[in-house]
Chains A and B, each alone.
Chain A
Amino acid sequence: MSAPLVQMKNVSIAFGGVRAVDNVSIDLHAGEVVGLLGHNGAGKSTLIKMLSGAYKMDSGEIWIEGNKATINSPRDSRDYNIETIYQTLALADNLDAASNLFLGRELTTPMGFVDDSRMEAETRKIMARLNPNFKKLKEPVSALSGGQRQSVAIARAVYFNAKILIMDEPTAALGVHETAMVAELIGELKKQGLGIFLISHDTREMMELCDRVSVMKNGQMVGTERVEDVTEDDILSMIILGKNPKEAA
């Protein structure tokens, strides 16, 4: 079997005296969705932010497709085809959808100026695929609904051919209908062979969407299980007690 898409080996980071992530290892294969569960402050987002380049790890290694990777900034992470959809929706509210989609990677004219028309045309194309109802291309994204904003964030990942997608609570701000849309999209991206890290609080949703789930507590990894091997109750007890019932048995 080929090397995993992502391997994070014995990763640690501390803020002041707090060990936010303590010696955690996790891996992700192509075409797989791995869910990260745990209480607030368990270290899920922190772990993932080391992969996306927002934080720099204190110790440990990251391997991408069998090669050791150096990720010191969000830009490095992007160079490894890692795209992140943040909980807080990293969109600039005052800019339109196209500007947000291409933020940091603007298309330019031969003269080096940003090419708004071409970016708008590309945005129309990708939106027609992801969310055909999306029409407000000229307006700042602050005028969009939660689902529309989310589709801008997802479009960013899809457009730049991400291999690894990190989704931090992608459905937290969405209604029922929009949540279903995101779930469908995750299935689609998985089929295309992307590896997806998914963070959520919703255990039931995770059981449906993920192939494997990893549970964290107090910065440590409690355990990783295939979803068909565990029940929702097993997962809940891992989250609450911080012990893997299967190992205890």
Chain B
Amino acid sequence: MSDASKPATPQRRSLLQSLEVDTRLLGMIGAFLLVCIVFNLLTDGRFLTPRNLFNLTIQTVSVAIMATGMIFVIVTRHIDLSVGALLATCTAVMAMTQTSWLPNMLGLELGHPMIPWISIAIGLVTGAVIGAGQGWLIGYQGIPAFIVTLGGLLIWRNVGWYLTDGATIGPLDKTYILFGGINGTLGATLSWIVGGVALVAALYALFSARRTKISHGFSVKPVWAEALVMGVVGTAIMGFVAILNAYTVPSRVIARNPSLYGCETAEGCVASYGIPYSVLLLIAVAIVMTVIARRTRLGRYIFATGGNPDAAELSGINTRLLTVKIFAMVGVLCALAGVVASARLGYHTNDIGVLDELRVIAAAVIGGTALAGGVGTIYGAIIGALIMQSLQSGMAMVGVDAPYQNIVVGAVLVLAVWIDIQYRKRTGAK
């Protein structure tokens, strides 16, 4: 209150205040780096190799895509236990569409170029319709989300089973499986181009945010701080591309078909995998979801409803329709995650996505989403998913038995929430 009378001389501020960075984000990145370093020591340097980091990213994608949607659900004080089962139903529909329904009913031959796209479109619609249906039961009929989606967990898991008669469906379409990870990557040159475009876009975003602030006469951070943030962001983007590009295609794979990698013969041919399509998909989802959360009325209403449902309603927000929209979004994201998960396997299997609901919720919670509602970030969910996956694959590399792996993951989940509660108490944040 009293600082109105103070002269406008720049106050001595701490480094973090000058940088205006989110301390929670730093904490999560720190936790992730800690996990990486510990496992790297335990595995004699096998954890922090381009190959393992590449695998880590493609293993994280499916859960991370769903976790970005779970944020909106938890922010509005709901929960969705059905995501893993919904994923299974969507992949069953997509697998049956491309291997059986389209070829048998419409007469499209296997391998027809339209097959993967029609399948994915049908999968996305399936996810949206089922999600919207669950959202309608929750929003308009007042059934608690816990119950609706617990029912959904049993229903959609077994609808998926019913659609496929319990059989494993595959092999899936050649184009479709490009979304799985290692089968579909950009290669070195395109990866650098994508990285460069991302770099320019990120720097432009930071620059234009600063310009807007100045135009409204708001205070901006010092130029050196802005430059430092730009430098860190730029290094992170290009570093990420460099790591993925550093993972080269093994020579025995090149030997099978050298022309795929732009070589006449396998002799002396070096090719990088680069950025997988599935990771590009995750990045696209993350950007879209962040824009929705921060820059649209929909996102504003989601957070307002989470903070105070009554206030949102009295402000003229249709919170029931909002619930339908949120669950429909999650349905779409489950279908997208299903594309990645089934493409990675190359098949639809009955147990695809089993226990994913718990991984997704854990990722959201580790990423700082408050179950009380109103608080959560998209990047937090993605880092949360990455931390979970690093723990799991790290322990597998070290040779920890499966039961112990789950014990550790469970303990980390509880610990993460405890740390978050302590952090909120310290900072006085709600």
Interface residues of A (CB under 8 A from B): 52, 54, 73-75, 78, 84, 86, 88-95, 99-100, 103-104, 106, 108, 112-114, 117-118, 120-121, 132-133, 135, 140, 142-143
Contact = CB atoms under 8 A, between A and B. Distances in A.
Nearest to A109: B295
B297 A108 contact: yes
Nearest to B316: A75
Interface string B291-327: 1000111011101111110111111110000000000
B310 A103 contact: no
Contacts of A132: 4
B213 A93 contact: no
Nearest to B305: A92
- Interface of A (DSSP majority class): loop
A121 B315 contact: no
B88 to A, nearest CB: 34
A135 B216 contact: no
Contact of A93 (B301, B315, B430): B430
B218 interface: yes
B428 interface: yes
A142 B297 contact: no
Residue in B212, B213, B297, B314 with the greatest tally of chain A CB atoms within 10 Å: B314
Contact of A117 (B216, B310, B311): B216
B296 A73 contact: no
Interface residues of B, number: 35
Interface of B: 1, 3-4, 212-213, 215-218, 291, 295-297, 299-301, 303-308, 310-317, 374-375, 428-430
A135 B3 contact: yes
A75, A84, A90, A103: residue with the most chain B Cβ atoms closer than 10 Å: A103
A73 B213 CA distance: 36
B295 A88 contact: no
A114 B216 contact: no
A95 B303 contact: yes
Nearest to B304: A92
A92 B374 contact: yes
A114 B300 contact: yes
B375 to A, nearest CB: 6
A243 to B, nearest CB: 35
Nearest to B428: A143
Contacts of A92: 303-308, 311-312, 374
B311 A103 contact: yes
Given A133-B1, A142-B430, A117 B213 contact: yes
Nearest to B314: A90
B375 A94 contact: yes
B74 to A, nearest CB: 13
Nearest to A132: B4
Contacts of B430: 93-94, 140, 142-143
Given A54-B314, A120-B216, 9 more contacts: A74-B313, A74-B316, A92-B311, A92-B374, A94-B375, A104-B312, A133-B1, A133-B4, A135-B3
22 contacts: A90-B308, A90-B311, A92-B304, A92-B306, A92-B312, A93-B307, A94-B306, A94-B307, A94-B374, A94-B430, A100-B304, A103-B300, A104-B312, A104-B315, A106-B300, A113-B291, A114-B295, A120-B216, A121-B216, A133-B4, A135-B3, A142-B430
A20 to B, nearest CB: 18
Contacts of A75: 316
Given A118-B216, A121-B216, A88 B428 contact: no
Top 5 A-B pairs, shortest CB-CB distance: A92-B307, A94-B307, A104-B315, A94-B374, A75-B316
A31 B155 CA distance: 61
A114 B295 CA distance: 5
Nearest to A142: B430
Contacts of A94: 303, 306-307, 374-375, 430
Contacts of B217: 121
A89 B428 CA distance: 21
A237 B308 CA distance: 38
A108 B299 CA distance: 13
A182 B149 CA distance: 47
A73 B314 CA distance: 8
Nearest to A74: B316
A46 to B, nearest CB: 15
Nearest to A79: B316
Contacts of A99: 300, 304
B216 A91 contact: no
B4 A103 contact: no
A92 B301 CA distance: 10
Nearest to B297: A106
